Structure 1
Amino acid sequence: MFLINGAWQETLPANDRAIQFGDGCFTTARICDGEVCLLVAHLERLKQACERLLIPFSVWAELNTEMVALAQEYREGVLKVIISRGSGGRGYSTAGCTAPTRLLSVSPLPTHYAQWRERGITLTLSPIRLGRNPSLAGLKHLNRLEQVLIRSHLDQSDADEALVLDSDGWLTECCAANLFWRKGRVVFTPRLDQAGVNGLMRQRILSCLQRSAWQVNEVSETVATLDTADEVILCNALMPLVPVGAFENRTWVSRELYQFLAPHCE
């Protein structure tokens, strides 16, 4: 069951623009001990996405209350919140779409994240590239066909996650995570002004590093840059942080950066 506009149900109107055009945004939050981790940040992410997508969503207090109340029913889990522009006409025009739809659901927290943190993960290079579009870059919008294709190819491999390049060949992210790597005392992460999702844990890590003795740079680099990396880590709001052990013929054993960041990523 889904909590849709405050009512428990399992259906959306066939003309909802989330179905018709992927016209909306979403966020995925971790529930810990009955509370939504990074609640304020998740709400702010949705607000920023709605502003950039020109979705006239306004019932933020109601959404906040629903997120808090739903999380209280679970010791742990995954809370997903979708905001659609709502129902509208057949064409692309948003005229008359003044009643956005909010949809909340809870699912179990993936059990393999604990195993990943313990042993580290393996990466493969995805053959699917992300299109560059500064109007949508950074947003967690509902158009996820690129990620669906990336995941489909990943499922055919033995790897745990996939490195993803943009259409110009720059390292961007992974299928469902953001990417950091370390060379000495300098930490790097891909720029996301043209493609990719600016994840909340990525933002938290950048803020943490900028207040620390580590040097951090957002860069445009090819996958070859990982050949000289001393350490690679991935993050998202659910993991929240995992070390990478291997990619192709490269392996990493250092967890210096991981151990520094881990206490700040809970």
Structure 2
Amino acid sequence: MFLINGREQETLAASDRATQFGDGCFTTAQIVGGSVSLLNAHLERLQNACERLLIPFSEWDLLQREMVQLAVGHERGVLKVIISRGSGGRGYSAANCTAATRLLSVSAWPAHYDRWRREGITLALSPVRLGRNPYLAGLKHLNRLEQVLIRSHLEQTNADEALVLDSEGWVTECCAANLFWRIGTRVYTPRLDQAGVNGIMRQFCIRMLAQSPFEVVEVNAREEELMQAEEMVVCNALMPVVPVRACGDRLLSSRTLFDFLAPRCEHPN
């Protein structure tokens, strides 16, 4: 179902800047037992994105109530929340935008994630690279054409997920997940100050690792450095954590990091 500005409907104005320019942001949350996992973190993500994109949205209490209400009755599902700048005439100027648009939807949880957690996944290097832009880096904005192309190329392979580099060749993320890898007790994850999405589950994993025997380090790394890993895991708010069994020709069998993170990320709060 879809809820647009509080009304159950599936029609968005053709003039809305989400459709005209991808002018907005979104977040995707897991519903478990009728509740939104990491609800506050998802709201903070949207608030931060609106501030950086200069979208004057202020109905945060109302949005929170709608998110909570939509989750009720769903044992497991996916809640997606989009905030666009709204409608405001032709052209790039936002001067005539009077009210932001909030769009919420609920859909089925991707059941294949259970199999991925049991069996592990394979990664294939994507030929599509992410553009570097420090002003937008980390945000989950509505301009997802890079990810659409990454997914399109991925679907031409036998791999489960894509290993994605930025335009300078730095390891950045996967198509729809963040990446961690382990060497000994040190855990690495790409820096996301130039490209990529700073995912909710990535942030949660970093907090968990900061309270563990592992040392977590955010780095700029090349593909060759990644291939020295003893273990890799990917994560997003829905998975929430999945082990990697192969990255290209590199086979991985260790699950030390996965075994630490998985139970902590299964029902985060």
If the TM-score is normalised by the length of the shorter chain, which range does it land in? over 0.9
One-letter amino acid matched to 2:51: E
Aligned length: 266
Q: CA deviation at 1:96?
A: 2.0
Q: Is the partner of 2:27 in helix, strand or coil?
A: strand
Which range is displaced more, 206-215 or 190-199?
206-215
Query: 1:115 is matched with which residue?
Result: 115
Q: Distance in 2 between matches of 1:227 and 1:127?
A: 18
Divergent runs of 4+, >3 A:
none
Q: How does 1:2-81 map to 2 (within 5 A)?
A: 2-81=2-81
Q: Distance in 2 between matches of 1:141 and 1:248?
A: 29
Structure 1's unaligned 5+ residue stretches are: none
One-letter amino acid matched to 1:112: H
What do the CA deviations read for 1:26-71 (whole angstroms, capped 9, x no partner)?
Answer: 0000000000000010001000000000000011111100000000
Q: How does 1:166-245 map to 2 (within 5 A)?
A: 166-245=166-245
Q: 1:56, 1:98 within 8 Å by CA — same for their partners in 2?
A: no
TM-score by length of 2: 0.98
Q: Distance in 1 between matches of 2:229 and 2:148?
A: 29
TM-score by length of 1: 0.99
Q: 1:24, 1:84 within 8 Å by CA — same for their partners in 2?
A: yes
What do the CA deviations read for 1:136-165 (whole angstroms, capped 9, x no partner)?
Answer: 000000000000000000011100000000
One-letter amino acid matched to 1:99: A
Q: Distance in 1 between matches of 2:83 and 2:227?
A: 40
Structure 2's unaligned 5+ residue stretches are: none
Q: CA deviation at 1:224?
A: 0.8
RMSD: 0.7
One-letter amino acid matched to 1:196: G
Identity across aligned pairs (percent)? 69
Q: Distance in 2 between matches of 1:238 and 1:80?
A: 11
Q: Distance in 1 between matches of 2:30 and 2:87?
A: 29
Q: Distance in 2 between matches of 1:43 and 1:3?
A: 17
Q: Distance in 1 between matches of 2:18 and 2:240?
A: 28
Q: 1:177, 1:235 within 8 Å by CA — same for their partners in 2?
A: yes
